[in-house]
Structure 1
Amino acid sequence: MCGIVGWVDFARDLTNEVATLNAMTATMACRGPDDSGTHRERHALLGHRRLAVIDLAGGHQPMTAEAGGHQVALTFSGEVYNYVELRAELRASGYRFRTHSDTEVVLAAYLRWGADFATRLNGMYALGLWDGRTETLLLVRDRMGVKPLYYFRTPHGVLFGSEPKAILANPMVPRRVDAAGLCEVLDMVKTPGAAVFSGMAEVIPGQMVRFDRNGSRSWRYWRLTAEPHTEDWPTTVSTVRELLRDTVTRQLVADVEICTLLSGGLDSSVVTALSAAALAEQGTGPVRSFSVDFTSAATGFEPDAVRAQQDAPFARELAAHVGARHNEVLLDSADLAAPDTRAAVLRATDTPPAYWGDMWPSLYLLFRAVRQHSTVALSGEAADELFGGYRWFHNPRAVGASTFPWLTPGSERYFGGLSLLDPGLIGKLDIPGYRAERYQEAVAEVPVLAGESLPERRMREISYLNLTRFVQTLLDRKDRMSMANGLEVRVPFCDHRLVQYVFNVPWQMKNRGGVKGLLRAAAESLVPQSVLDRKKTPYPATQDPGYATALRSALAAILDDLNAPVRPLLNLARAEQAVRRDSGRVSLPYDRGGLELAIWLNDWLAGYDLALDL
């Protein structure tokens, strides 16, 4: 996994802009601590920071190849899991490889198949490819959007990078956010292509964007399609199991230490069990697994509306069941509120973590601990979106609502952090109107299957919304917090073959036997019964009252600073009331949402020196 940057300008000589390229590349050091490199031509500059995972000695980037008397240069982030098969095919067609890296396979695939090369890749990736023969830049992102990729159009070209900070490091880019950008920050919508900062965009999952002297053109090389599902229940269960087995096995390929993230829930347990089996078959086991909790939970855990049980007993049972080398990472809640931790989180995200506020720093700290032992981790992300694990899949009011199901009564409180904002600001932004427009756009994209019943059609829409909007926030969070520590996290449930197949399994079959019934059936022979029977439990959040007290202290300091940039955005009376609120009670994540958002917004506006165009 790596960090990539680039600058193309068809109207100027960029060879004198090396200092700026280096500054852009340096912002990606956290994503690539092992190596760095640049490629320079008159109209194109490419930068790269490398996290070495495959072919540690031979994978230096940007990687180039001679073609037609010109150079084709690639800066690549991610992993291609079918690179061994593609390498054999390309070698048979006459290509002579210089390295054993998957990066060279991507470059050779482009030389062999042109822009169609992306349709042959199985993996998670973001890349910039400069073709000197035609003076063309291609930006490509993986099908599910696991790896981020942003760009900013200039009068005569484009800037791009793995994260907004790489683009913001170029002095040509204004540090401004308009009303639409602020809506993206404040509402749980994650619009494909939106990037918060004015003039910036994100490459949509499964999209290619081409830039040349005539302008730009974009197209989708992959999207979810509606297909009839004709297989019976036993065949469907078997297909899901074999797809999972294949994708987990593929994603275990690495020349560095690899592990799994294990909560003891169904999703992570399936990934860990399959990893253990694959490594045992290869003779390279046992698998190493990591779980997380808080030191205060040992004596102070209280079941609440979202967490009825702790993870630890289930994670230990699964680890013993598959023979994993299990590690428990215990976090101190005080570290979540520590200024250096929160500053590191904000540097990694480039935007304020408006929701699940303490889960961002806790993920950051977890990944920092994991990175001391492993460079690559496998995670169970996206299984709930794929198999219907969230409560809103099963709530008739949420299913029938004319909005995103996670933003309906009963679910919205988990993502509602606007309580301390000025009502005038909320009215001016018209967040309900913005949300409604984004929802209509999303529903209009959903593929239609002829003859599908209305209930099945609606559940297809719900699945599509989760797979193209909700999961993007989770993938982005995991990418930023892991890569801030130089840790690569792979997500087998995002394999596009599995996603396409399960998307077309009828809801009644997908939900057979209860919540996530199809996945449970596929996992029956893999995990203990206790894990199969366990109810959905989210990533742990601290219940330590001391954490809420630290947040109130931080907000009090902000309110005392008359120059604090967030003050004009707040309802000051309510903010003062929140600071004085009783700190002795256990504070749940959704109770802290207003505090978290106000503090993160202030740190963001100040740290990034932003101007708001509202």
Structure 2
Amino acid sequence: MCGIWALFGDDTGDISKQYRSAAKISHRGPDSFRIESVNHFGNCCLAFHRLAIVDDLYGMQPMRIKTYPYVWLLYNGEIYNYRKVEKHFGFNYLTECDGESIIHLYMKGGIQYAASMLDGVFAFCLLDTMAKKVYLGRDTFGVRPMFKLSDEEGFMAVCSEAKGLVDIQKHKKSEIVPFPPGYVETFELQPNGNVALVESEKFHSLGTSPKWMDVPESLVSIGQDVEENIRELITDAVKKRLMSDRRIGCLLSGGLDSSVVAALVCKLCKESGINYPVQTFSIGMEGSTDIAAARKVAAHIGSEHHEVTFTPEEGVQAVEEVIYHLESYDITTVRASVGMYLVSRYITKETDSVVIFSGEGADEVAQGYLYFYKAPTPEAGNEESMRLMRDLHMFDVLRADRTTAAHGLELRVPFLDHQLTSFYASLDPILKQPKNKCEKYLIRKAFDNGLLPSEILWRPKEAFSDGVSSSKKSWFEILQDHIETQVTDSQLEESPQKFPFNPPLTKEGYFYREIFEKYYHGNSHWIPYIWLPKWLPDCSDPSARCLAHYRTRC
């Protein structure tokens, strides 16, 4: 996890303003910082906050290598096939940094070719001063974030998080927009540092096999059995993500997704000779069912387990900080982020784990949300699953990135591996539906091999507000009680006039929106809609509690 920031065509010469804007994302890279101008091009400034994961000596950015000194790279992400790329093409890497592969692939085939050959997650800004081009790119799922601010005069600013652009926006009066996942954009670079968009290209679509899968040895050897394929693909997705010079840990809720990932991390770390115990982390209030379930998993897989508890007061107090870091006012995103934000804070303060595995993406890929029981047809369920995957960067992936990056951690999400997701997308829609009254049946069946205790493997999905809740009162109810004292009935009634775009339907939505506007006024378009379950026309709340079959289907 790192933070990238770039400015093109800024003729103010205000170095202190540039520094202050770039510093807004210092949490993403607490290890080191660099800001520098681009040689021979006026009004261009690049900045980088580094979280050192690989190559502590030569991994600083902007990256430049002697082979191609006119190429500058700012990059946030991890490229899992960088060694395979080096071997296949005969590249001669000058560093141990996985991001160097982007430069070599670009020089071989251009920017779209380079992006299409990367197995990993990334957001990059590549500057070629010889060709006088600037290129931006972002991974297919948008696991790594990037925002852009530009105007018609040739000014452009780029940043990992929007907060690094809001002060600039006040002067430029232009829109800050999320960079679209799965795209690369090409800009002409002028001597004065101004840029002009040349083209925007999509390099990969969900459900299709990425181009890099044609690279020899990049495919795992798997059989024809669907469950065997899923087991092997998930295992391989975890294995490739173990690359790190820093300590690895896992978020562990005790649910299926995080438990499978944590169990595989522990197993594969032992097999690879990693000589420290994997740390696992669960969070909840006193009496939380998640904490109880995670404790069973940790004992079974042999992790060094940490339990983090928070009080209702601590949870409510964290909401504003969470919204600031999220850059979102989506109800379910904010609710679910509080626990993840607090446990990430604990990890940074109390342990030395830096690379953190999590189970995000499984619900979207494998139809794990409880409302999929209401899908009218297998095809409708499949279509909804694909839609959720396309929008992940605005919801669960956004939550996972921002809550961990806020505390200088790097998150890894194996369920969004391209080999796994393209295989899952190719399955008959009937196979993906909930089966035998259990969601994500294929994943559960694939790991019905002793990896996890049976009661965990087949544990029904819970709403987040129930899993972290105390035995006395749920997180959902605590939030509602607090917000009832903060928002009046008349305020909610007038919300369509105050917030014409995505007007809040509930007091909770209004409360979050007001905090969001405090920091990011006028940027509500970053979230085009509020996440709600499908096929429930009268539902105005994203909680699984609105489903009549909640707690009755298994």
Give TM class, smaller chain: 0.7 to 0.9
Q: 1:138 to 1:238 in 2, by over 3 A?
A: same
Q: 1:472 to 1:346 in 2, by over 3 A?
A: closer
CA distance in 1, matches of 2:468, 2:118: 37
The answer (yes or no) to whether the contact 1:356–1:593 under 8 Å persists in 2 is no
Q: 1:331 aligns with which of 300, 304, 310?
A: 310
Measure how far apart 1:344 and its partner are. Answer: 2.2
Q: 1:205 to 1:217 in 2, by over 3 A?
A: same
- Map 1:399-410 → 2, pairs under 5 A: 399-400=375-376
Q: Give the partner amino acid of 1:506.
A: D
Q: Are positions 1:257 and 2:208 aligned together?
A: no
The answer (yes or no) to whether the contact 2:333–2:395 under 8 Å persists in 1 is no
Q: 1:164 aligns with which of 159, 162, 170?
A: 162
Q: Give the partner amino acid of 1:484.
A: A
Measure how far apart 1:250 and its partner are. Answer: 1.2
CA distance in 1, matches of 2:124, 2:244: 20
Q: Are positions 1:120 and 2:117 aligned together?
A: yes
Measure how far apart 1:274 and its partner are. Answer: 0.9
Measure how far apart 1:356 and its partner are. Answer: 5.0
Q: Are positions 1:528 and 2:507 aligned together?
A: no
2:245 aligned counterpart, secondary structure:
coil
CA distance in 2, matches of 1:571, 1:101: 51
Q: 2:176 aligns with which of 170, 191, 200?
A: 200
Q: Which residue of 1 aligns with 2:212?
A: none
Which TM-score applies when normalising by structure 2? 0.80
- Map 1:476-495 → 2, pairs under 5 A: 476-495=398-417
Q: 1:223 to 1:531 in 2, by over 3 A?
A: same
Q: 2:483 aligns with which of 542, 551, 572?
A: 551
Q: Which residue of 2 aligns with 1:464?
A: 386
Measure how far apart 1:51 and its partner are. Answer: 1.1
CA deviation map 1:225-256 (0-9, x unaligned): 469xxx99962211111111111011121111
Q: 1:356 to 1:75 in 2, by over 3 A?
A: closer
Q: 1:520 to 1:218 in 2, by over 3 A?
A: same
Q: Which residue of 2 aligns with 1:59?
A: 59
Unpaired stretches in structure 2, ≥5 consecutive residues: 190-195, 210-220, 499-503, 526-554
Q: Give the partner amino acid of 1:151.
A: K
Q: 2:278 aligns with which of 287, 292, 297?
A: 287
Q: Which residue of 2 aligns with 1:245?
A: 235
CA distance in 1, matches of 2:524, 2:379: 40
Q: Give the partner amino acid of 1:108.
A: H
Aligned length: 485
- Map 1:109-188 → 2, pairs under 5 A: 109-115=105-111, 116-154=113-151, 155-170=153-168, 173=171
Q: Which residue of 1 aligns with 2:202?
A: 220
2:26 aligned counterpart, secondary structure:
coil
CA deviation map 1:295-325 (0-9, x unaligned): 3x36xxxxxxxxxxx1233222222221111
Q: Which protein has greater RCO, CA pairs closer than 8 Å, 6+ apart?
A: 1
- Map 1:226-237 → 2, pairs under 5 A: 235-237=225-227
Q: 1:107 to 1:234 in 2, by over 3 A?
A: closer
Q: 1:350 to 1:391 in 2, by over 3 A?
A: closer
Q: Which residue of 2 aligns with 1:49?
A: 49
CA distance in 2, matches of 1:327, 1:469: 32
CA deviation map 1:457-478 (0-9, x unaligned): 4343122112112564111011
CA distance in 2, matches of 1:612, 1:496: 30
Measure how far apart 1:26 and its partner are. Answer: 0.6
Measure how far apart 1:605 and its partner are. Answer: 2.7
The answer (yes or no) to whether the contact 1:80–1:121 under 8 Å persists in 2 is yes
Q: Which residue of 1 aligns with 2:100?
A: 104
CA distance in 2, matches of 1:359, 1:290: 16
The answer (yes or no) to whether the contact 2:28–2:407 under 8 Å persists in 1 is yes
Q: 1:96 to 1:271 in 2, by over 3 A?
A: closer
CA distance in 2, matches of 1:612, 1:35: 32
Q: Give the partner amino acid of 2:326.
A: T
What CA RMSD, in Å, does the superposition of the two structures yield over aligned residues? 3.0
2:164 aligned counterpart, secondary structure:
helix
Q: Which residue of 2 aligns with 1:380?
A: 359
CA distance in 2, matches of 1:232, 1:241: 9
CA distance in 1, matches of 2:222, 2:77: 36
CA distance in 1, matches of 2:160, 2:478: 36
The answer (yes or no) to whether the contact 1:276–1:287 under 8 Å persists in 2 is yes
Q: Which residue of 2 aligns with 1:569?
A: 495
Q: Are positions 1:361 and 2:338 aligned together?
A: yes
The answer (yes or no) to whether the contact 2:379–2:429 under 8 Å persists in 1 is no
The answer (yes or no) to whether the contact 2:319–2:334 under 8 Å persists in 1 is no
Q: 1:603 to 1:226 in 2, by over 3 A?
A: closer
Q: 2:518 aligns with which of 580, 589, 606?
A: 606
Q: 1:457 to 1:598 in 2, by over 3 A?
A: closer
The answer (yes or no) to whether the contact 2:222–2:229 under 8 Å persists in 1 is no
Q: Which residue of 2 aligns with 1:519?
A: 443
1:359 aligned counterpart, secondary structure:
helix
CA distance in 2, matches of 1:546, 1:317: 27
CA distance in 2, matches of 1:327, 1:478: 19
Q: Give the partner amino acid of 1:536.
A: K
CA distance in 2, matches of 1:232, 1:466: 27
Q: Give the partner amino acid of 1:65.
A: I
Q: Are positions 1:20 and 2:17 aligned together?
A: yes
The answer (yes or no) to whether the contact 1:39–1:73 under 8 Å persists in 2 is no
Q: 2:185 aligns with which of 203, 209, 233?
A: 209
Q: Give the partner amino acid of 1:286.
A: P
Unpaired stretches in structure 1, ≥5 consecutive residues: 176-197, 299-309, 401-454, 573-591
1:133 aligned counterpart, secondary structure:
coil
Measure how far apart 1:125 and its partner are. Answer: 1.1
Q: 2:347 aligns with which of 365, 370, 392?
A: 370
Q: Are positions 1:389 and 2:333 aligned together?
A: no
Measure how far apart 1:67 and its partner are. Answer: 6.3
- Map 1:281-320 → 2, pairs under 5 A: 281-284=271-274, 285-295=276-286, 297=287, 310-320=289-299
The answer (yes or no) to whether the contact 2:249–2:279 under 8 Å persists in 1 is yes
2:506 aligned counterpart, secondary structure:
helix
CA distance in 1, matches of 2:222, 2:104: 40
2:443 aligned counterpart, secondary structure:
helix
Q: Give the partner amino acid of 1:495.
A: D
Q: Are positions 1:595 and 2:507 aligned together?
A: yes
Q: Give the partner amino acid of 2:302.
A: G
Measure how far apart 1:533 and its partner are. Answer: 1.8
The answer (yes or no) to whether the contact 2:206–2:422 under 8 Å persists in 1 is yes
Q: Give the partner amino acid of 1:64.
A: R
- Map 1:25-44 → 2, pairs under 5 A: 25-41=22-38, 42-43=41-42, 44=44
The answer (yes or no) to whether the contact 2:86–2:93 under 8 Å persists in 1 is no
CA distance in 1, matches of 2:462, 2:177: 34
The answer (yes or no) to whether the contact 1:4–1:48 under 8 Å persists in 2 is yes
The answer (yes or no) to whether the contact 1:266–1:534 under 8 Å persists in 2 is yes
CA deviation map 1:60-91 (0-9, x unaligned): 111123567x621111111112222233445x
Measure how far apart 1:112 and its partner are. Answer: 3.1
The answer (yes or no) to whether the contact 1:463–1:503 under 8 Å persists in 2 is no
CA distance in 2, matches of 1:160, 1:496: 26
Residue identity (%): 27
The answer (yes or no) to whether the contact 1:81–1:251 under 8 Å persists in 2 is yes
CA distance in 2, matches of 1:359, 1:224: 25
CA distance in 1, matches of 2:273, 2:67: 42
Q: 1:312 to 1:220 in 2, by over 3 A?
A: same
